[in-house]
Structures are given as C-alpha cells and as structure tokens.
A = this chain, B = another copy of it.
Amino acid sequence: MELFYAYQVEGSMCRLDAEESTHCVKVLRHRAGDTVDIIDGLGTLYHCRLTLDSPKGAEAQILETTANWGSHPYHLTIGCCPTKNNDRFEWFVEKATEIGVDRIVPLIGDHSERKIYKTERALRIALSATKQSLKARIPVIDEPVSVKDFINEPHNQAEGEVLKLIAYCFEDETHPRQSIMDVLREFKGRDVTVLIGPEGDFSKEEAHNAMTTGYIPVHLGPSRLRTETAAVTAAEAVYLNFI
C-alpha cells in the first residue's frame, strides 16, 4: 500500500505538493482515474480518485474517509536533547514515528553539546516514516527549546491528566527513580510526556526543576543506553504498555 501526503484538503479534494505529485505521477505512473490513498498528516486517510495527474500539483477526489487511521491508544510527547551526531537523533525520529509518537521536542539542556538544531530533515524523516509505517498522523516536531522553558510550559494539561516523566542517569538519594514500566503500569490515563537528556545527562538543577513542576524521575533499566536509544526505549515502553 502506497500513501501520499496532501498538503491541502478542501471540500472533497486533496492536493499534493510537487514532490508528492512527482512521486505519484512520474515514479509510480499514476494517471487520472486511478484510485490512490492519501493522508492529511493529521490522522485521516482518504481513499481517492486521481483527477489531475500533473507532476507539479496532482489533485484527487475523495471517495472514502477513515479517521484515526493507524492510530495508537495514547498521546506521547518525547522531549529529547539532540545528539552530537545528527544521524543518531534522526534515527530516533524515524523509529519513534514507526513505533508511535505524537510530538517530538528537541531540547537544549545545560550539558548539551549541540545548542542548535534544525528541524527540516527530521520533518522529512517523520513524513517518510509515517507513510512507510501506514499511519495517517505525522508527529509534530517542535522548534528546539531549552529544558527550562519546556518544563515550565503550561502544556496540554487542560485536556486531562498528563503523566510527566524525566529519565536521568545520576543517583539522587532524595528522589529515588522508579522503573518507567512500574510508573506506566499504574497510570490510567493516556497522555504521557518523557524527557531524555543529552550525552552528559540533565544537570541536577534541571532534574530538580522538573520534579518541582510534577515530573516523576524514572530509570530505563540497568543498561547504559545512548541518548537516542534511551529515547526509543521510552517510546517502546509507552507503546508496549498499551498492547
């Protein structure tokens, strides 16, 4: 099953941008009259008939609509400090999208070696992984924000209870870390946020600030995981908790 992404859905029409149109018309040689499957990136799948087979801007008429297609039963935000090596962070974006994540926030921490992160490539990877894994919702990728600002963000608390977790590696005797699985098992809601620090871990101040705003300190088990593996492990923990 091949999916295309519509940048615009208006009335009963889906419109593809030049890149998607080229792929649809030039590479896969679809012609007007063919049926094609199109996602809006917001969770809906449209089964369509191609009406305009232009490689610059194809259009298709909606025949059938499926909401929440390829969705998962939770809402997961992962805030993660980008790795020194960009490929590793982008690998996390790809895998987390495949597994199921809703929002990725590149965080800049006190110990981050990478202080600047451009989201352009990650957005393309997220789109590609969404289509490849047959989902209709592309995760939102925020512009980078400092750990401090993210922690103090009002969040989407209004929508209901959010389980807020911070995974750090150092021992803190006043705040012993729980296993992420134990915390998830006891949670009855569906909205989870997990923070993953940089190679040099969160600073004690960041961890402390997070706890004062309601973050629960967790560990991801005994293995020493790289930043991007920790972020994928957090995504897997939430995903597997719901299956």
Which of A91, A95, A237, A242: most chain B Cβ within 10 A? Answer: A95
> Which residues from chain B contact A233 at a C-beta distance below 8 Å?
99, 236, 239-240
> Which residues from chain B contact A134 at a C-beta distance below 8 Å?
224
> Which residues from chain B contact A236 at a C-beta distance below 8 Å?
232-233, 236-237, 240
Q: Given A181-B243, A236-B240, does the pair A222, B98 have CB atoms closer than 8 Å?
A: no
**Complex alpha-carbon distance, A181 and B185, angstroms:** 12
9 contacts between A and B (CB under 8 A): A70-B223, A98-B224, A98-B229, A133-B226, A180-B243, A181-B240, A232-B232, A236-B237, A240-B240
Q: A144 interface residue, CB < 8 Å from B?
A: no
**Complex alpha-carbon distance, A160 and B72, angstroms:** 37
Q: A225 interface residue, CB < 8 Å from B?
A: yes
> Which residues from chain B contact A70 at a C-beta distance below 8 Å?
222-224
- Asked if residues A225 and B99 are in contact (CB atoms below 8 Å), the reply is yes
- Asked if residues A226 and B179 are in contact (CB atoms below 8 Å), the reply is no
> Which residues from chain B contact A180 at a C-beta distance below 8 Å?
240, 243
**Complex alpha-carbon distance, A31 and B221, angstroms:** 36
Given contacts A95-B229, A223-B239, 14 further A-B contacts (CB under 8 A): A95-B232, A98-B226, A99-B225, A99-B229, A133-B224, A134-B224, A135-B223, A180-B243, A181-B240, A181-B241, A219-B243, A233-B239, A236-B237, A237-B240
**How many copies of this kind of chain does the complex include?**
2
Contact string against B for A residues 123-135, beta-carbon threshold 8 Å, 1 for contact and 0 otherwise: 0000000001111
Contact residues of A between 198 and 243, Cβ < 8 Å to B: 219-226, 229, 232-233, 236-237, 239-243
User: Nearest chain B CB to A237's CB is how many angstroms away?
Assistant: 5
User: Nearest chain B CB to A236's CB is how many angstroms away?
Assistant: 4
**Complex alpha-carbon distance, A219 and B239, angstroms:** 13
Contact string against B for A residues 79-111, beta-carbon threshold 8 Å, 1 for contact and 0 otherwise: 000000000000100010011100000000000
- Asked if residues A133 and B240 are in contact (CB atoms below 8 Å), the reply is no
**Complex alpha-carbon distance, A116 and B24, angstroms:** 34
Which listed residue (B98, B226, B242) contacts A225, Cβ 8 A?
B98
Which listed residue (B95, B133, B221, B241) contacts A239, Cβ 8 A?
B221
* CB-CB nearest in chain B for A219: B243
- Asked if residues B240 and A98 are in contact (CB atoms below 8 Å), the reply is no
